[in-house]
Amino acid sequence: MLIMITARISTKEQLDELHAIITKHPKISDWYRHMGNQWIVEFDDKSLSTLNNYLGAAFEDGKRPTMLVNTLHHYNGWHSQEFWNFIQKHKALPEPEAKQGAGKAKAKPDDEYALNPKDYEVTDALTLEDLDLDEVTSETVNRYFQRMAFFRQAEAQGITLPENHQNLIISGKTGVGKSTLAKAIGLAFAAQDGTRKVPVYFVKPAHIIGRFRGHTQKNMQALLDMAEKGIIIFDELDTLLDIDSDDKNALNVLNTHLGDKPNEPHVITTIYGHNRARFLSFNTGMQSRFPTTINVPEQGSGKLSQIFESAVKNTGMAYDPAIVAEVENLVQQIRTAQRGNFGHIREIDNILGAVITNMAARHAANPDDFAFEVTLADIPVRDRQTGELVQRPIRLSEPKIETSPSGVVSFPNLKKD
């Protein structure tokens, strides 16, 4: 998650202390910007309460500054363009000392910014057969592969068809499974004859955005050149549409390269549905470079509960059929509470993770009688205050109540002292 931490600081000592806390937090995988009393960090936990609690506990009683810890919904448009322009103006600030080392940051030689695609190679992912695609998406995927097979057959018979760009856009809202589908298609494309012939790479914009002017374009070109005839999956490439013009020019580098060397590499990109038109109109060549779009629709709560059931089956564990309806009810609660920020398939991943945690607790309590079967007791509930998925409380059996003909009430299943 991309997080913004804003603090009301009264002294420089307090600022330095909070800065040290943030940069040393073990769950902060990277931090990108520092603007006075504001930090933008990438947090690898699924709950903001973890970071909130850590920041609070790090200060002595009465010395904690007022802080706002909030998720940045960049791609959902929750902040204005002016806000993101403001952030980008500060991106050349030096890194924290923990990462930069002593002394002032210096520009590095160009070759140190060249990316190696092998660092991002996909070696294992769900296959298309593993995915529970809806009928429309499945048909679009089939037509994509049919189109490529047609061009290969034409080439084999000496037929010269118009230029065949095989690049693909996968669009949809956050959490609907765009990245998972992209990896499955990439691996299927790479193994069209039953053997994996070419490598597949999965790259996020953060991997190519350089800290110094001009390096983003150089990173993009280096990546495309080194991938050769492999397959590159750019995750959320439309991110580059919302940053400064220098980094945005990496899209022009991509467009030019794909025009000069069609399908070297093949490119699959995931983007948010509302950005598709902007992405294709960024450069006049984009429309022809990316002739196919697969839109991944939102899934209803019933469909998501079926995906959860399939995920449990794929683990090899047994399960109580009643859990499916319980998960559907839980998904509906999360959807209602989160509204536009609902994570779709990502929520299923979170639920399955909570189920495994609850099963591990059961196993620890009674390992001898434990069986790998998902029960209703393992399905978490949503905490209304924090929004976290927590273990459901254990319900004690209700006492049996009996009333005699004379009107005397008794509780036969309660033990007497």
The average pLDDT across 175-203 equals 83
Task: Say if residue 111's pLDDT is above 50.
Answer: no
* 77 and 149 both lie in a single domain: no
In a domain, 410, yes or no: no
The average pLDDT across 306-334 equals 91
* 26 and 51 both lie in a single domain: yes
In a domain, 401, yes or no: no
* 142 and 282 both lie in a single domain: yes
Task: Say if residue 348's pLDDT is above 80.
Answer: yes
* 11 and 85 both lie in a single domain: yes
Of 69-73, 170-174, 278-282, minimum mean pLDDT range: 69-73
| pLDDT tier for residue 139 given thresholds of 50, 70 and 90 | very high
Write out pLDDT tens, residues 351-400. Answer: 998 999 999 999 999 999 999 999 999 999 998 888 888 888 865 555 55
Q: How far apart are CA 371 and CA 163, in angstroms?
A: 57
Contacts of 111 (CB under 8 A, 6+ apart): none
* 126 and 241 both lie in a single domain: yes
* 327 vs 415 pLDDT, higher one: 327
Q: What is the pLDDT at residue 328?
A: 93
Residue 34 and residue 93 in contact, taking contact as beta carbons nearer than 8 Å: yes
Q: What is the pLDDT at residue 94?
A: 34
CATH of the domain at 48: 3.30.70
Q: What is the pLDDT at residue 379?
A: 94
Looking at 238, 260, 295, which one is the last position of a domain? 295
The average pLDDT across 123-143 equals 85
CATH of the domain at 236: 3.40.50.300
Tokens 């190696």 identify what position? 116
Mean pLDDT of all residues belonging to the chain: 77
Q: In what order do the strands lie in the sheet with 200-203?
A: 200-203, 231-235, 266-272, 168-172, 292-295
* 122 and 81 both lie in a single domain: no
* 268 and 245 both lie in a single domain: yes
* 162 vs 186 pLDDT, higher one: 186
For helices 48-58 and 12-24, give the axis angle rounded to 10 degrees: 130
In a domain, 10, yes or no: yes
Q: How far apart are CA 178 and CA 121, in angstroms?
A: 18
Looking at 38, 69, 101, which one is the last position of a domain? 101
Q: What percentage of the chain exceeds 90 in pLDDT? A: 25
In a domain, 108, yes or no: no
In a domain, 89, yes or no: yes
In a domain, 73, yes or no: yes
The alpha carbon of residue 265 and the mean position of all alpha carbons in its chain are separated, in whole angstroms, by 24
SS3 43: strand
CA proximity to 89, closest of 252, 246, 218:
246
Task: Say if residue 75's pLDDT is above 70.
Answer: no
Residue 51 backbone dihedrals phi, psi, to 5 degrees: -70, -40
Give the pairing type, strands 381-382 and 318-319: unpaired
Q: What is the pLDDT at residue 342?
A: 74
* 283 and 200 both lie in a single domain: yes
* 167 and 286 both lie in a single domain: yes
CA proximity to 334, closest of 323, 358, 350:
350
In a domain, 86, yes or no: yes
Task: Say if residue 1's pLDDT is above 80.
Answer: no
Of 186-195, 263-272, 407-416, minimum mean pLDDT range: 407-416
Range of the domain at 58: 2-101
Please count the other Cβ atoms lying within 10 Å of the Cβ belonging to residue 63: 12
- DSSP-assigned states of every residue in 189-228: HHTTTSS--S-EEEE-HHHH--SSTTHHHHHHHHHHHHHT
Q: What is the pLDDT at residue 41?
A: 75
* 127 and 260 both lie in a single domain: yes
CA proximity to 175, closest of 364, 32, 307:
307
Please count the other Cβ atoms lying within 10 Å of the Cβ belonging to residue 42: 15
Q: How far apart are CA 356 and CA 45, in angstroms?
A: 17
Write out pLDDT tens, residues 76-108. Answer: 344 445 555 555 554 433 333 333 444 444 444
* 70 and 165 both lie in a single domain: no
> Can you point out the beta strands (E) in 133-189?
168-172
Q: What is the pLDDT at residue 346?
A: 78
* 154 and 291 both lie in a single domain: yes
When divided into structural domains, the chain yields a total of 3
> pTM score > 0.85 for this model?
no
Q: What is the pLDDT at residue 403?
A: 58
In a domain, 204, yes or no: yes
Looking at 39, 71, 101, which one is the last position of a domain? 101
**Amino acid (1-letter code) at residue 235:** D
Write out pLDDT tens, residues 321-342. Answer: 999 999 999 999 988 888 766 7
Q: Is 190 exposed, middle or buried (0-12, 13-18, 19+ CB in 10 A)?
A: middle
Q: What is the pLDDT at residue 49?
A: 67
Q: What is the pLDDT at residue 175?
A: 79
Q: How far apart are CA 279 and CA 285, in angstroms?
A: 11
